[in-house]
């Protein structure tokens, strides 16, 4: 291996661009919108921007790429990650994929505004693909401009890193750069277009391959390319599975099912709602990908979705995410069926998704409650009643579980608590005090008693249980209104709050004295404000 010293010039990054080397390219290199057949990608360069300015960068992702702090602070960094300059070894391209959008096959989609720069091999030998989102039109831009606005870029940047630090599988984000150019957006598609500041996020992941990559070749009945792309994916993203064969395709699909289940369990644990779980937004690696109109549950509500585009159907609401992931895997199974030609093993893999999710969800909920393990005979009811209570009075999910960790398991504590109704104990977690009716208080007291009895059976010391609970129940999440406040300031040219949130969210499970304000429940003004409780796909 080379020296461990970080890189000071981006030209020193080592690229090994397997994707373009091993997969067929679109022979057409002119940049106009079209259907691209018989190819996995089109060569296309980022469009130059006028006055790029660094908003923020992630030092953890810079470390993954061996970039020095000086380099990240340099003008060279800004120019390159704004798409104004390519460095030695970059080979920019846009990927062809399709997808089901809101349950319907949408045909060719592709990287309409993402331009891949190539794959960096870092000093540890890890391979990281770099991608600029919002870097200008590509053959896949359809009727859109290929650009991204600052608000959605900040949301993607902060959330990628927040999810990583929460322990949720995700694509990463190196940087967010304001372009200095304006982008026209009609935020709520209601005939009110306005100019907004543009920006570009540099995303980083082992690969950005989506379910829709496989679907497009199957839909076009291009089985040779379907096989070539699947073999490529197994070689690069799943090398431990060995040489592709029908048996290995099944093992591969089974692993995709398992990873997807694990990702969804994490989403349900932290209260993340993706908002647009179309099959083109599902990573083959089980990473959270494409942060658009996502949101974080504030009051626990399984029916909530932040996405106004989905307000009528609520297809992608919080409580429906496990089912939608299953449905999406079914679409992937259909796409890869020609490689396997047997329904039964694909069905079994789908069953594994359901089992992995079910077991994972139970273990996760037990963990949130501080139980040593999930005991179906008693814990199913305990959890059901808790989830009902969280909805009976609007209760902030994050605050509630953090507070619950402070419970003590002595009878004295319990008696004192239930005598004055447990509701006071969770005070700051409630949004509407009038909902704390005598009936609600009675139910809560009964539940608390049951809960404490259950903890007593486990016999774990309170301190030990508390630190276990605080390691899975975050104190700080990217509350929708916090992201919006940071965006409001950034749109005025002040990027401090973006960086403050980035710093905060590096340690989401720690108390972080002095920063408690960032853990507060959503203020009333944010209940109905655009960007805080409702978002559209416009970005
Ligand atoms: P999304 O809903 O963000 O996953 O986007 C669905 C498809 O639309 C993808 O193929 C995107 O690349 C494309 N797309 C979204 N926004 C734009 C844009 N502003 N310009 C070009 N393509 C876009
Ligand atoms: Mg997408």
pLDDT tens readout for residues 50-108: 999 999 999 999 999 999 999 999 999 999 999 999 999 999 999 999 999 999 999 99
Nearest CA to ligand 1 atom 12: 112
Contact 233, 209 (CB under 8 A): yes
Q: For residue 264, what pLDDT is reported? A: 99
Q: What is the pTM of this model?
A: 0.98
Mean of per-residue pLDDT scores for the chain: 96
pLDDT tens readout for residues 116-141: 999 999 999 999 999 999 999 999 99
Q: For residue 166, what pLDDT is reported? A: 99
Q: Return all residues near 419 (Cβ < 8 A) that are at least 6 apart.
A: none
Quick one: which H or E segment has residue 175? Answer: strand 172-185
Whether the pLDDT of residue 2 is over 60: the answer is no
Closest ligand 1 atom to residue 109 Cα is: 10
Q: For residue 422, what pLDDT is reported? A: 81
Q: Which residue has the tokens 């960007």?
A: 531
Whether the pLDDT of residue 218 is over 60: the answer is yes
Side-chain half-sphere CA neighbours of 504 within 13 A: 24
Quick one: which H or E segment has residue 330? Answer: helix 321-340
* Ligand 2 centroid to residue 538 C-alpha, Å: 12
Contact 531, 487 (CB under 8 A): yes
pLDDT-derived band at 489 (thresholds 50, 70, 90) equals very high
Active-site residue set = 280
pLDDT-derived band at 5 (thresholds 50, 70, 90) equals confident
pLDDT tens readout for residues 342-399: 999 999 999 999 999 999 999 999 999 999 999 999 999 999 999 999 999 999 999 9
Distance CA 511, CA 507 (A): 9
pLDDT-derived band at 271 (thresholds 50, 70, 90) equals very high
pLDDT tens readout for residues 340-356: 999 999 999 999 999 99
pLDDT-derived band at 155 (thresholds 50, 70, 90) equals very high
Q: For residue 530, what pLDDT is reported? A: 87
pLDDT tens readout for residues 499-524: 999 999 999 999 999 999 999 999 99
Whether the pLDDT of residue 457 is over 60: the answer is yes
Whether the pLDDT of residue 1 is over 50: the answer is no
- List the domain boundaries for the chain: 10-212, 223-367, 371-459, 480-526
Whether the pLDDT of residue 3 is over 70: the answer is no
Which of 41, 47, 113 is the pocket-test mutation for ligand 1 (most atoms within 8 Å of CB)? 113
Residues with CB under 5 A from ligand 2 (ion): 281, 290
């Amino acid at each position: 291996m080379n020296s461990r010293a970080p890189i000071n010039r981006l030209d020193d990054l080592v690229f090994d661009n397997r994707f373009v080397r091993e997969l067929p390219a679109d022979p057409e290199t002119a940049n106009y919108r079209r259907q691209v057949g018989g190819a996995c990608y089109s060569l296309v360069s980022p469009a130059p921007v006028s006055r790029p300015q660094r908003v923020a960068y992630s030092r953890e992702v810079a470390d993954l790429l061996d970039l020095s702090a000086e380099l990240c602070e340099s003008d060279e960094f800004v120019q390159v990650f704004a798409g104004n300059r390519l460095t030695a070894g970059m080979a920019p391209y846009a990927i062809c994929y399709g997808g089901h959008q809101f349950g319907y096959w949408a045909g060719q989609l592709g990287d309409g505004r993402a331009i891949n720069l190539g794959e960096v091999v870092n000093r540890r030998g890890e391979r990281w693909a770099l991608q600029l989102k919002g870097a200008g039109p590509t053959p896949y831009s359809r009727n859109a401009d290929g650009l991204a606005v600052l608000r959605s870029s900040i949301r993607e940047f902060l959330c990628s890193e927040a999810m990583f630090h929460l322990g949720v599988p995700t694509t990463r984000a190196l940087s967010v750069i304001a372009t200095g150019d304006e982008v026209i957006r009609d935020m709520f598609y209601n005939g009110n277009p306005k100019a907004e500041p543009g920006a570009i996020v540099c995303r980083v992941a082992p690969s950005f391959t989506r379910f829709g990559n496989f679907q497009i070749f199957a839909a076009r009945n291009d089985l040779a390319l379907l096989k070539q792309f699947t073999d490529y994916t197994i070689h690069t993203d799943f090398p431990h599975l060995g040489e592709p064969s029908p048996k290995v395709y099944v093992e591969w699909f089974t692993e995709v099912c398992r990873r997807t289940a694990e990702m969804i369990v994490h989403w349900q644990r932290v209260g993340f709602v993706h908002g647009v779980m179309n099959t083109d937004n599902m990573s083959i690696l089980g990473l959270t990908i494409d942060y658009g109109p996502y949101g974080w549950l504030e009051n626990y509500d399984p029916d909530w979705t932040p996405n106004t585009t989905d307000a009528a159907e609520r297809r992608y609401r919080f409580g429906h995410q496990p089912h939608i992931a299953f449905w999406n895997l079914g679409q992937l199974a259909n796409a890869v069926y020609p490689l396997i030609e047997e329904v039964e093993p694909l069905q079994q893999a789908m069953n594994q998704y359901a089992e992995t999710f079910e077991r994972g969800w139970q273990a996760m909920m037990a963990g949130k409650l501080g139980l040593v393990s999930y005991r179906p005979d008693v814990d199913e009811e305990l959890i059901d009643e808790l989830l009902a209570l969280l909805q009976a009075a609007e209760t902030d999910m994050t605050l509630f579980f953090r507070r619950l960790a402070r419970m003590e398991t002595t009878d004295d504590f319990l008696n004192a608590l239930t005598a004055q109704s447990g509701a006071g104990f969770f005070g700051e977690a409630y949004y509407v005090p009038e909902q704390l009716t005598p009936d609600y208080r009675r139910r809560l007291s009964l539940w608390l008693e049951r809960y404490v009895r259950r903890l007593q059976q486990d016999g774990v010391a309170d301190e030990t249980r508390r630190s276990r609970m605080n390691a899975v129940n975050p104190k700080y999440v990217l509350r929708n209104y916090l992201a919006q406040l940071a965006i409001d300031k950034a749109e005025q040219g002040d990027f401090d709050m973006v960086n403050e949130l980035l710093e905060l969210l590096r340690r989401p499970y720690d108390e972080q004295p002095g920063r408690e304000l960032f853990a507060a429940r959503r203020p009333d003004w944010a209940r109905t404000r655009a960007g805080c409780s409702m978002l559209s796909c416009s970005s």
